[in-house]
Amino acid sequence: MTETKSDRIVKRGRLFPEIEWSEEEKIKWKTELMAIHHRCQLIFNRVQPELIKTHYNWFMAIDPESEDYVIAENEEVATEMARQKYPNAIPYIFVINETGVAGRI
């Protein structure tokens, strides 16, 4: 049997080097995300007391533009439902419990 020799060269670096954001664009993007999170947090705080009684530890995906939300037992299902209902929106995921935090640090 003959040995095969790999001539493949591993290229390291950026995935899309043609996309380069300035510091102003990065700051703008972060502030937009923070504004979306803040609007979603307000919606969550408004509906959380009534939903915690019947849907404890379920997942909630909120669309900040329409102030509408979807609820599911599974995070992936809630995300998929939100994407189908609002394809161009950035939904924010919460867990219906005391903290609302989805995930761990």
Average pLDDT over residues 58-65: 91
Structure tokens at 82: 């939100």
Residues 62, 44 contacting (CB under 8 angstroms): yes
Q: Is the pLDDT of residue 54 over 60?
A: yes
pLDDT by residue (tens digit) across 82-105? 999 999 888 889 999 988 887 655
User: What's the pLDDT band for 27 if we cut at 50, 70, 90?
Assistant: very high
Q: Residue 9 gets which letter from DSSP?
A: -
Average pLDDT over residues 11-37: 87
Q: Could you give the 3-state DSSP secondary structure of residue 98?
A: coil
DSSP string, 16-33: -TT----HHHHHHHHHHH
Structure tokens at 69: 């939300």
Q: Could you give the 3-state DSSP secondary structure of residue 71?
A: strand
Q: Could you give the 3-state DSSP secondary structure of residue 89?
A: coil
- The β-bridge partners of 93 are 61
